Structure 1
Amino acid sequence: MTLLWIVLFTLLGGAASAGAAGALLLVPDRLRERLLPSLVSYAVGAMLAAAFLGLLPEAFEYPGTTPQQVTGVLLGGILLFFVLEKFVLWRHCHTDACAAHGSHAPLATARPWRAAGTLVLVGDSVHNLIDGVLIAAAFLTDTRLGVLTALAIVAHEIPQEIGDVAVLVHSGYSRGKAMLFNLLTNLPTLIGGVVAYFALETLHGALPYVLTLAAASFIYIAVADLIPDLHRRPEPAATLAQVLLIGAGIGTIVLSHLALEHWLH
């Protein structure tokens, strides 16, 4: 029965968060184009807050880990995603023959947005895998705790996935592909939940390091891919709007964590 609860709530949670994010794709094209810069700013705040206020604190507090271990994995993770982005860019250049421009190619040509979209999918998949593990752990403790944890995770994921869909569309994905890939990134939630049910003790030992890798991916995406794009609009009015929207993304994640603590207690 516990396994059934885990499967049900990991599927429902993923469908709910992906559905809410996919609603962005139903917005008319012209309106969506006007909303995208705002949603990218929002995504920066949500990703940084999820990394620094959610994932990393959990990794630091995990029994048996040291700050040096966590920060070492964080540093290695950032380097890993740098190499991954280089590989994505290299493949993109070979496909579009942009390598012929050499090292003096314009930044917009040499660094396509599709790399950011790919990294979002990787980071979101890892994050959702961990969500599945957390849901399973809660259900193995108490069914009521599992339900509340699943609901809180959905509330936490919706604003972040809205930002992720914005990044995917801005990266050049069609509406259909953005919705499909965003939905597929929620499958690791189910996988993490089922695997954790059968091998929770083994997964617990690796949990803080997987959390740290997920944090590294979100930090790298926000700092290396999204923020430079925001700097293309340096005028005061646009900058103020960006700061407010980044703050809104951070605030949403903070409120979701407070709701989680309230629901669990």
Structure 2
Amino acid sequence: MLTKLILFAGFAGATVFLGGVLANLFNHHVKDSPVKYETIHTLMSFGAGIILSALALVLIPKGMEELDVLPMAISFAVGALLFMLIDVKLSKSGGQTATLLAMMMDFVPESIALGAVFAIEPSMATLLAIFIGLQNLPEAFNSFRDLVQSGFTTGKTLLIFFFLSFFGIIGALIGHYFLSDYPNITAHLMTFASGGILYLLIQDIIPESKLENNYLTSLGASLGFLVGIIGEKLI
């Protein structure tokens, strides 16, 4: 059973590295053109839609299910405030890591949830692993671009993504062995992440994905959210 959990979590995390590899290939082997620019912004918007679906369909509902109003509100507010402070600090240094932060803030809590539910509902854990993997692919694609624009080399960025891909296994094992009997802690973690993710989406990711005089790019967000709806319905 442990091997199966590691395989599921490994798949969910592997798409982080795969998204970085695909972004690198796209940047170097597709010529600059309006179509390339529109594709990049559409993928950013698509990723924002998927992140929003994780927030609305997985993270917040889990917090609402397990927590009372005041603890839930405090966790959410602390997440939003903390990531506002992080964003202010990063903006002063010229970094562009909002998409990476948002990706990790839904990837890690969901991986922990994957481990926590694996022993109880294996079928749900299987679909959750697929859902997490599908989320990570466009998010990693966009995060790779942001990090490279921030001054990271291609090699260093891919190395970061390679190590981040193992966070899924680490999170799943933590959830399985330490948090499966403590749903309140998992709920607090998810609600905290929700506050930070929502802040990052509105402040950085959604404005960056907008392209003037182009309306199809914004449709990407709706399609990304639809992927989340389908995934949640299957789960």
| Alignment CA distance shift 1:145-1:246 (3 Å) | closer
1:161 has 2:117 as partner? no
CA distance in 2, matches of 1:230, 1:136: 33
Please show how residues 1-265 of structure 1 align to structure 2 within 5 Å. Answer: 2-27=1-26, 28=29, 30-31=31-32, 34=37, 35-62=39-66, 65-90=67-92, 92=93, 112=94, 114=95, 116-117=96-97, 119-141=98-120, 143=122, 145-201=124-180, 203-230=182-209, 233-234=211-212, 237-238=213-214, 240-259=215-234, 261=235
Equivalent position SS for 1:60: helix
CA distance in 1, matches of 2:62, 2:46: 23
8 Å contact kept, 2:24–2:154: yes
- In the TM superposition, what whole-angstrom CA distance separates every residue of 1:56-114 from its partner, at most 9, and x where no partner exists? 1121112xx12332233222211111111222234x2xxxxxxxxxxxxxxxxxxx3x2
8 Å contact kept, 1:58–1:208: yes
| Alignment CA distance shift 1:159-1:61 (3 Å) | farther
8 Å contact kept, 1:18–1:186: yes
8 Å contact kept, 2:105–2:197: no
CA distance in 2, matches of 1:130, 1:57: 13
CA distance in 2, matches of 1:16, 1:228: 25
Q: How far did 1:26 drift?
A: 0.9
Q: Answer with 1 or 2: which has the greater Rg.
A: 1
- Give structure 2 stretches of 5+ with no counterpart: none
Q: How far did 1:124 drift?
A: 2.8
| Alignment CA distance shift 1:31-1:244 (3 Å) | same
CA distance in 2, matches of 1:31, 1:246: 23
| Aligned partner letter, 1:30 | K
Question: May I ask how many residue pairs the two structures share in their alignment?
Answer: 230
TM-score (norm 1): 0.73
8 Å contact kept, 1:36–1:166: no
| Alignment CA distance shift 1:179-1:252 (3 Å) | farther
- Sequence identity of aligned pairs in percent? 19
Q: Which residue of 2 aligns with 1:101?
A: none
| Aligned partner letter, 1:155 | L
| Alignment CA distance shift 1:214-1:244 (3 Å) | same
CA RMSD of aligned residues (A): 2.8
